[in-house]
Amino acid sequence: MQNERDVLALIGADDLMLEVLEAARRADLPDGWIGAGFVRRKVWDHLHGFEGATPLDDIDVLYFQPGDLSRDSERAIERSLEAAMPGLPWSAKNQARMHLRNGDQPYHGTVDAMRFWLETPTCVAVRLDGGGALQLAAPYGLDDLLNMIVRPTPAGYRRPQAYRARLESKDWLQIWPNCRAIWP
C-alpha cells in the first residue's frame, strides 16, 4: 500500500464501507465526507494483516453548513442515517461549528476543518461523488497513515495535552502494535 489509489482500492473492495458511503451520499450533506477512524482503521487493519476488522467506535460523518450550527440538526442526520443503515455508530458533526469547541478561527469547509484535528493519520476522509466515484481528502497527505505514524498536526502541537490524552484514550498503539507515535 503506497498511495491514494491503493487506499481507494482498499475501500472500494469493502462492500460495507461502500454501503456506508452510499448512505452518506444519499443524505446529500453540504461538503459531506466520512473521515477519521473509518479510513484509518481500514488501512491499519490491512497493513497489520488482520483477518477481520477491528471494532469501529463511530462513523464520523462530516459536513459544512454555516447557516445551521445546531446540535439538533446533527442528531436529525444521525437518525436519518440510522434509519437507512440501523445498528451502526453514526456520528454527524457540522464542521462549521467545530471551531467554537476548539478555540480556532472559523473554518472554510470540511477539509479545512480537518487541518485542525490533532493527529495526521486521522486527517483523512472519503466520499462518493455524484457519479459514484470515490474521492479522498487528506490535508496532510497519506505518508503518516501509510507508514503507521501518529504525528501531531500543528493543532496537536498547540494543544499537546489534548493530543496526548487522545492517544492514551484510544489505545491505538495496543490495537495496532506496528504503529508508532510522536509525542510533543
In a domain, 95, yes or no: yes
Check residue 103 and give its pLDDT. 87
In a domain, 136, yes or no: yes
Label residues 144-164 b or e (16+ Cβ within 10 Å = b). bbbebebbbbebbebbeeebb
Q: pTM for the complete prediction?
A: 0.96
State which residues form the domain around 59: 4-148
Check residue 26 and give its pLDDT. 97
Check residue 27 and give its pLDDT. 97
The Cα 159–Cα 156 span in angstroms is: 5
Domain CATH for 125: 3.30.460
**Cβ atoms of residues 182 and 153 within 8 Å:** no
Label residues 16-44 b or e (16+ Cβ within 10 Å = b). ebeebbebbbebebebbbbbbbbbbbbbb
Which grid coordinates belong to 15? Answer: 462492500
The Cα 150–Cα 123 span in angstroms is: 11
Divide the 184 residues of the chain into consecutive groups of 10 and give the mean pLDDT of each group. Answer: 97 98 97 98 98 95 95 97 98 95 93 98 97 97 98 97 96 97 93
**Percent with pLDDT over 90 in the chain:** 97
In a domain, 164, yes or no: no
Please state the domain count of the chain: 1
**Cβ atoms of residues 60 and 32 within 8 Å:** no
Check residue 141 and give its pLDDT. 98
Check residue 11 and give its pLDDT. 98
Which grid coordinates belong to 10? Answer: 482498499
In a domain, 114, yes or no: yes
- The predicted-structure confidence for 46-72, as pLDDT tens digits, reads as follows 999 999 999 999 999 999 999 998 999
Label residues 88-98 b or e (16+ Cβ within 10 Å = b). bebbbbbbbbb
Check residue 101 and give its pLDDT. 86
Check residue 49 and give its pLDDT. 98
In a domain, 161, yes or no: no
Q: Are strands 59-63 and 33-35 parallel, antiparallel or unpaired?
A: antiparallel
Q: How many CB atoms lie within 10 A of CB 63?
A: 23
